[in-house]
């Protein structure tokens, strides 16, 4: 006697789900988890260097005593932000990465909620750049965040190497 139609359909749906899951696993860009530390470090470094470069460009257009004070302020504030905010954040992320399975999705170098934070920070940067805030103040802000990001990237490189 043949299987009832419901049994056939549930078995068929199960096999189809397994096939879709297998196909998605093959399409997911996966890497060994230690590569996530390098990817995180590179993303922090690139963003930090980009922000510092923008700040340096703005500071180059300002008379030297003011640009010197703004540079020192940005570097000192950046060091403090690194020490008290970005270093703990980076250490927490490194610990999260090290708890992941040995092979993991390439995009797991940041927690999913961190992608929302990155988007908000990019939007804030855009708004600040197009605001009437003087460039000397923006350069301090950019240099502060850029310095903290660049220093923070070293914690990822430390775990990778």
**Domain segments of the chain: what residues?**
30-160
The strand pairing partners of 17, in sequence order, are none
Task: Read off the pLDDT band of 131 (50, 70, 90).
Answer: very high
Q: How far apart are CA 10 and CA 142, in angstroms?
A: 57
DSSP string, 77-110: HHHHHIIIIIHHHHHHHHHHHHHS-SEEEGGGGS
Of 35, 38, 33, 74, the closest CA to residue 53 belongs to 74
Name residue, tokens 């914690």. Answer: 155
- Helix axis angle for 112-129 and 135-160, nearest 10°, is 150
Q: How far apart are CA 27 and CA 48, in angstroms?
A: 31
User: Residue 112: its pLDDT value, please?
Assistant: 73
10 Å Cβ neighbour count for 43?
Answer: 16
Let me know: does 74 contact 140? Beta carbons within 8 Å. yes
Assess whether pLDDT exceeds 60 at residue 15: no
Each residue of 69-78: pLDDT tens digit?
Answer: 999 999 999 9
Let me know: does 77 contact 157? Beta carbons within 8 Å. no
The mean pLDDT value for 19-30 works out to: 64
Cα separation of the two ends of the chain: 64
User: Residue 101: its pLDDT value, please?
Assistant: 85
Give the CA-trace dihedral at 89, 92, 97, 99, to 10 degrees.
-170
* Top-confidence residue, 117 or 82: 82
Q: How far apart are CA 112 and CA 124, in angstroms?
A: 19
């Amino acid at each position: 006697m043949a299987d009832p139609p419901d049994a056939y359909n549930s078995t068929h749906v199960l096999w189809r789900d397994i096939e879709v899951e297998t196909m998605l696993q093959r399409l997911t860009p996966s890497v060994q988890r230690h590569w996530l530390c390098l990817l995180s470090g590179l993303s922090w470094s690139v963003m930090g260097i980009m922000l510092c470069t923008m700040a340096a460009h703005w500071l180059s257009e300002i008379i030297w005593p003011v640009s010197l004070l703004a540079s020192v302020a940005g570097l000192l504030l950046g060091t403090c932000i690194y020490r008290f905010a970005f270093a703990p954040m980076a250490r927490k992320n490194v610990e999260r990465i090290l708890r992941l399975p040995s092979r993991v999705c390439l995009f797991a170098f940041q927690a999913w909620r961190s992608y929302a934070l990155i988007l908000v920070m990019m939007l804030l940067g855009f708004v600040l750049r197009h605001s009437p805030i003087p460039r000397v103040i923006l350069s301090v802000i950019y240099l502060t965040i850029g310095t903290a990001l660049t220093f923070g990237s070293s914690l990822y490189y430390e775990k990778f190497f």
